[in-house]
Structure 1
Amino acid sequence: MQKRFLIVDDMHQSICVLLAEAGIEAHYEPHISRPELLKIIKNYEGLLIRSKTDVDRELIDAATNLEVIGRAGAGLDKIDVQYVESKGIEILNAPEGNRDALAEHAMGLLLSMLNNIVKADAEVRNWIWDREGNRGDELSDKTIGIIGYGYMGQAFVQRLRAFDCRVLVYDKYKKGFGTKNVEEVSLAKLYDKADILSLHVPLNEETRAWIDKEFIMNFRKDIYLLNTARGEILPTKDLLELLDSGKVKGAALDVLDKEKFDKLTEEERNQFIDLFSRKNIVFSPHVGGWTFASYKRINEVLVGKIASHYHIEKEG
């Protein structure tokens, strides 16, 4: 019997064709409401999401025939992973699809921050020609501390090799990955040696608000901070205090702890007004990994895993 998959978020137009080629019937409903989704999900073996849909107990309890949940991207923070797995449902994601795009974007943010590119651009457009005020820092004499050595962290490290900088990596759950180009270190050594901290960890209960003021104050040096992971890992309130004290010399942020601006409290809005006024921060709107090529490649990776999942099942 042909498997039926429901796609409930916007995805590249190739998704239905790819699923059809894998022998799967695809129904593309990116504008479906929550009540409608709860009503019809029992008719499907597969559910494909991006970032809009919360896969919680309510949805899983309604999805009585669900076998596979596919996330078109890397993070699984919208999915109640423990509950889904307790029901025997397979979770598939596609970090391989956008790791290169994310790594390139992270490099762009890092270089922009160190070389004052955004600030200098704004000044020149306002007839200010300030060479000394925009003198930059070079990566080659810096030590980059990286937390998280999954697909994203590894792709970022690959790009860093061209800059001849020292790379230290801490990963709580991985061991034995050190090479002549990458030093596997403890948090204590990361605190002692890093000039720049780059975050590449998923959002979960362990990492939520983990990189706070107390964490950053452990660093011996004043540091630059790069976050292309998830905004909730780094509380804005703490970042402002660290910027005020000079402990964080500058930041490059592709993510924020609150990204739905229309739902901010007055306190959160005031924090962002303060943050957005800083000239030593480079922002982008959560587009690391979101390129024209990766948009399609994520589909290819995800459908490939779905096809492999059912192939293995059939062979067994």
Structure 2
Amino acid sequence: MPDNKRILIIDQMHESITDMVKSIGYEPDYRPNIKRSEIIALEQQYVGMIVRSKTPIDEELLVNQGELQFIGRAGAGIDNLDVDYLQCRDIEIVNAPEGNRDALGEHVLGMLLSLSNNLPKADDEVRNFIWDREGNRGFEIKGKTVGLLGYGYMASAVAQRLKCFDCEVIAFDKYKSNFSDEFITEVELDEIFERADIFSIHTPLTDETKDLVDINFFKKFSKNIIFINSARGEIVETADLLAAIQSGKVTHAALDVLENEKMKNLNNEQLDTYKQLFKLQNVILSPHIGGWTFESYKNINKVLVEKIAKL
């Protein structure tokens, strides 16, 4: 245990975080309302920092924190961390995908079931005294092939929940091999393009995956597909997704994330695309809440603190 035991917590966390941090011998400094400029100006030194997504974790932010040994990311994604800089300084990165994998898995399944049964549309119509059974005839998951792009904690949670639906789940992960298990069969990406009825993204946002899913990507699918994105919005070109929906290549879409989630900072092109997308009844949207449950809120703390204790 280092002499400096202080951990700065800069984002809103479940209230259990301070007691958990104390239980492993560290001193929590819980400042969820601290601003970026105030973090940069801090004179007090910390051995660790726990963050969500308030601000980029980069050289400018950390240059004065000479004793920093680790960053704890309360969640799965680390795209707001300057990984190269942290590695250069030998600062450990600890994240907690195990903490919200179950919540994300349930959310994806919920979105898929909502689409398959036309629940948002049907609910709205009944509330407006429209009783249209035929217009809300749905489809079944059973017998379909689900293709997963990426096979980490989140994708495996989705696959586990799909097992009872008697569908086939196949997955491609560029950075893994020999990962077939009782829930999925490992395949090449071309096989997903050939066979998938339902396609779900589970890759991190990197330079390699940014804008990966564009109109040319959609055209590679042999079938018309149901499309799900609960990973990162910037992986998908939204205008191209809209075009794929309008052409019928994408028959339904479930989106928990968007290319630009700052609704007050949309440019004109994004605003026009979103307006068209939001009017479509075969599209279901949620505000990046996959994995955002009361249970996961606390469980992320537990996973993160357990990992920090092992450093």
Q: Which SS does the other structure have where 2:177 is aligned?
A: coil
Classify 1:42/1:207 alpha carbon distance in 2 versus 1 (closer, same or farther; 3 Å): farther
Find 1:16's aligned residue among 15, 18, 41: 18
Q: CA deviation at 1:264?
A: 0.8
Taking the TM superposition and a 5 Å limit, the aligned residue runs for 1:44-63 are 44-63=46-65
Q: TM-score w.r.t. structure 2 length? A: 0.97
2:213 maps to amino acid? I
The aligned residue for residue 100 of structure 2 is: 98
Whole-angstrom CA distance in 1 between matches of 2:87 and 2:254? 35
The aligned residue for residue 78 of structure 1 is: 80
Find 1:153's aligned residue among 145, 152, 155: 155
Q: CA deviation at 1:13?
A: 0.6
2:9 maps to amino acid? I
Find 2:69's aligned residue among 67, 70, 77: 67
Structure 1: give runs of 5+ residues left out of the alignment: 310-316
Q: Which has the higher helix share?
A: 1
Contact 1:213–1:238 (8 Å) recurs in 2: yes
Whole-angstrom CA distance in 2 between matches of 1:183 and 1:23? 43
Contact 1:145–1:168 (8 Å) recurs in 2: yes
Whole-angstrom CA distance in 1 between matches of 2:21 and 2:74? 13
Whole-angstrom CA distance in 2 between matches of 1:120 and 1:62? 56
Q: Which SS does the other structure have where 1:145 is aligned?
A: strand
Q: CA deviation at 1:41?
A: 6.5
The aligned residue for residue 167 of structure 2 is: 165
Classify 1:32/1:180 alpha carbon distance in 2 versus 1 (closer, same or farther; 3 Å): closer
Work out whether 1:201 is the aligned partner of 2:189.
no
1:129 maps to amino acid? W
Whole-angstrom CA distance in 1 between matches of 2:182 and 2:55? 42
1:301 maps to amino acid? V
Whole-angstrom CA distance in 2 between matches of 1:134 and 1:41? 61
The aligned residue for residue 264 of structure 1 is: 266
Q: CA deviation at 1:76?
A: 0.2
Whole-angstrom CA distance in 1 between matches of 2:164 and 2:85? 43
Q: Which SS does the other structure have where 1:140 is aligned?
A: coil
Contact 1:139–1:163 (8 Å) recurs in 2: yes
Contact 1:196–1:223 (8 Å) recurs in 2: yes
The aligned residue for residue 189 of structure 1 is: 191
The number of residues matched between the two structures is 309
Find 2:117's aligned residue among 115, 118, 122: 115
Whole-angstrom CA distance in 2 between matches of 1:303 and 1:33? 24
Find 1:141's aligned residue among 115, 124, 143: 143
Q: Which SS does the other structure have where 1:175 is aligned?
A: coil
Whole-angstrom CA distance in 1 between matches of 2:258 and 2:185? 29
Moved over 4 A (4+): none
Q: Which SS does the other structure have where 2:42 is aligned?
A: helix
Q: CA deviation at 1:40?
A: 1.2
Q: TM-score w.r.t. structure 1 length? A: 0.96
Structure 2: give runs of 5+ residues left out of the alignment: none
Q: Which SS does the other structure have where 1:139 is aligned?
A: coil
Q: CA deviation at 1:278?
A: 0.5
Deviation per CA, 1:283-313: give whole Å up to 9, x if none.
111100000000000000001100111xxxx
Cα root mean square deviation, aligned: 1.0
Q: Which SS does the other structure have where 1:26 is aligned?
A: strand
Q: Which has the larger displacement, 31-40 or 73-82?
A: 31-40
Contact 2:36–2:61 (8 Å) recurs in 1: no
Q: Which SS does the other structure have where 2:284 is aligned?
A: strand
1:148 maps to amino acid? G
Q: CA deviation at 1:42?
A: 5.7
Classify 1:106/1:248 alpha carbon distance in 2 versus 1 (closer, same or farther; 3 Å): same
2:125 maps to amino acid? E
Deviation per CA, 1:108-129: give whole Å up to 9, x if none.
0011111111111111111111
The aligned residue for residue 236 of structure 1 is: 238
Whole-angstrom CA distance in 2 between matches of 1:151 and 1:41? 38
Q: Which has the larger displacement, 245-254 or 266-275?
A: 266-275
Identity of matched residues, %? 51
Q: CA deviation at 1:59?
A: 1.6
Contact 1:42–1:65 (8 Å) recurs in 2: no
The aligned residue for residue 274 of structure 1 is: 276
Contact 2:160–2:183 (8 Å) recurs in 1: no
Classify 1:41/1:88 alpha carbon distance in 2 versus 1 (closer, same or farther; 3 Å): farther
Whole-angstrom CA distance in 1 between matches of 2:185 and 2:22? 45
1:91 maps to amino acid? I
Whole-angstrom CA distance in 2 between matches of 1:258 and 1:219? 26
Whole-angstrom CA distance in 1 between matches of 2:55 and 2:109? 30
